[in-house]
Amino acid sequence: MQTQHYRVEDDAWLNDMHSVVTEHAIACEDIPTIPLYQARAKATRPAPVPQASDMPRAEEPTRSDAVTEGIGVGHRLWPILYAISSRLWLEIHRAHAHPVGSEALHLPSASLLRERVLQQLPVGLSVTDAEREVVVQGVIDEVIGAGPLAALLLDESVSALTVYAPHEIVVERNQHTQSAPCLFVDERHLLHILENLLCQAGQRLRPHWPLAEVQLPDGTLLSITMPPTSPRGPTFTLRKCKQTKRTLADLVDEDLLDQTMADFLYTCMLDQRNILLCGDTESGKTLLLNALCACIPERERIVVIEDAMVELVLTQRQVVTLLAHPANATSSAQITLDNLVQHALRMRPERLILAATNGDEWVSLLQAMYAGQRGVCAFMYAQSARDVLQRLETLYHACRYETNPALIRAQIMRSLDVIVHVKKMQDESVRIVNIVEVVSATRNGLKIQSLFHYREVCTEQITASHVEGFRPRFLP
């Protein structure tokens, strides 16, 4: 079988090639729309490609088959389970109905609900003790849990799942998408489970606010789109936030970078250099940021700024996490990343970590770095180091009255020490493909010099990787 290899066609010292992003469109058929029930309250790393030995064999059940081992649509006990769970769900939500804008619904505990379920089971139901336990747990999942999605959320091999329609669920397992065997009965069943998930985060659906983004207690990120914004019906995505702590040594073992790169980045972190990471979506941003933050000494004060969701895991004692809050149906004031950057600078941090940046906050951040703030580590979505510099210039022009390009470039050059470009390759692996420094600012633009440059040299049998570059000027 012929293997396709990724090749960087660029000169040996500068990698400004743009990556190719392929969008996989998933078509979904129109589904019948039913009226939205009256909800009265508040809305809202890349794994290696599996080897042949890791693929499931026909005679061995996979973890996804565990969903069918329970009681789902089509099971002989499903009508009983669904009837009891629907009755209890409506009983709980109608009894705790609140007007719009009030507190979120507080769901009963699993132990209390278990007693109620046992009382609802039909007398003389011919089931074994094991089947009875599965029915009880299934009802609990339907009333206060994730219902048909519960087993998928517990499956460690599943990193994300998207519900396009009641009968169309797609999961991402080991960076490969596949259809899930679990199904919802109809759109109303889907909405019940969606409301359960929101209640776990202390929120509820709002018919007049069709968009919601929340973080569940286990760190899973939930993104919801409701009609009329989603004309085919409710759609939502669950993306697990892996809390596994990784170091640069772990990333070397996983071939995200080589040992020379790791040693250099470790030195930069200890020396409190200002580092800017860039890459596409799903390029290992959180993974690399966590590994870099693990290099920070225990004694230093750290301020972490994130965009509404907590994704970074820092084990140091002196850590303050600040979350931005976008405007929504209930918030009285919007807290932007720029607000948090300015607030964090008053806290005199020795390290300032920005997990995600969108725009205006970069002007405040560059001015702070130009004024002497050290130890900044931030991420920006861009497809090359050259794109990063062009975007910074554009943001500066858009947010400030300063129109002299030479002054803007000089400020950027003196603020940033290192730019690290991380990329998702065609074989689904993630690699650092370029580490550059900004060496000078001229009338024609900013000149960058590649310190480390990843290339693949393809032959008929093997693919060899090389790292080549120059010595950084800021090192003694």
Torsion angles phi and psi, residue 235, rounded to 5: -135, 135
CB of 280 closer than 8 Å to CB of 21 = yes
Rg (CA), the chain: 26
392 sits in which H/E element: helix 385-399
Cα–Cα distance between 465 and 462 in angstroms, integer? 10
Q: For the CA atoms of 373, 405, 396, 474, what is the dihedral angle to 10 degrees?
A: -30
- pLDDT value at 412 more than 50: yes
pLDDT digits (tens, 9 = 90+) for 231-244: 889 999 998 877 66
Give the Å distances, CA to CA, from 14 to 33, 95, 412, 474: 53, 65, 19, 18
Rounded percentage of the chain residues whose pLDDT exceeds 90 = 28
Q: Is the peptide bond before 234 cis (omega within 30 degrees of 0)?
A: no
Query: Residue 265: pLDDT band by 50, 70, 90 thresholds?
Result: very high
SS3 state at 2 = coil
List, as one string, the DSSP characters of 423-469: EE-TTS-EEEEEEEEEEEEETTEEEEEEEEEEEEEE-SS-EEEEEE-
Cα–Cα distance between 252 and 262 in angstroms, integer? 7
Amino acid at the residue 450: S
CB of 376 closer than 8 Å to CB of 406 = no
Stretch 63-78: mean pLDDT, rounded?
62
pTM of the model: 0.71
Query: Residue 18's pLDDT is what?
Result: 34
Give Dmax over CA atoms of the chain in angstroms.
86
pLDDT digits (tens, 9 = 90+) for 290-333: 999 999 999 999 999 988 777 888 889 999 999 887 766 555 57
Q: Which residues are bridge partners to 178 per DSSP?
A: 171
Query: Residue 319's pLDDT is what?
Result: 93
Q: How far is CA 11 from the centre of its chain?
A: 33
SS3 state at 221 = strand
Amino acid at the residue 211: L
Q: How far is CA 227 from the centre of its chain?
A: 24
Query: Residue 435: pLDDT band by 50, 70, 90 thresholds?
Result: very high
Buried/exposed code over 9-35 (b: 16+ C-beta within 10 A; e: otherwise): ebeeebbbbebeeeeeeeeeeebeeee
What superfamily does domain 248-468 belong to in CATH?
P-loop containing nucleotide triphosphate hydrolases (3.40.50.300)
Query: Residue 26: pLDDT band by 50, 70, 90 thresholds?
Result: very low
Please report, for the chain, the start and end positions of each structural domain, with discontinuous segments joined by +.
52-239, 248-468
Confirm whether 52-239 and 248-468 share one CATH topology: no
Please give the residue that has the higher pLDDT: either 147 or 62.
147
pLDDT digits (tens, 9 = 90+) for 188-208: 999 999 999 988 888 888 777
- pLDDT value at 367 more than 80: yes
- pLDDT value at 62 more than 60: no
CB of 316 closer than 8 Å to CB of 302 = yes
Could you tell me which of 280, 267, 230, 320 has the C-alpha nearest to residue 452?
267
Query: Residue 60's pLDDT is what?
Result: 35
Q: Which two tokens stand for residue 219?
A: 């760190």
SS3 state at 408 = helix
Query: Residue 420's pLDDT is what?
Result: 94
Please give the residue that has the higher pLDDT: either 29 or 452.
452
pLDDT digits (tens, 9 = 90+) for 86-99: 999 988 877 665 54
CATH class of 52-239: alpha beta
Between the two ends of the chain, the Cα-to-Cα distance in Å is 49
- pLDDT value at 225 more than 60: yes
pLDDT digits (tens, 9 = 90+) for 132-187: 888 999 999 999 999 999 988 888 889 899 999 999 999 998 778 888 877 899 99
Cα–Cα distance between 326 and 214 in angstroms, integer? 12
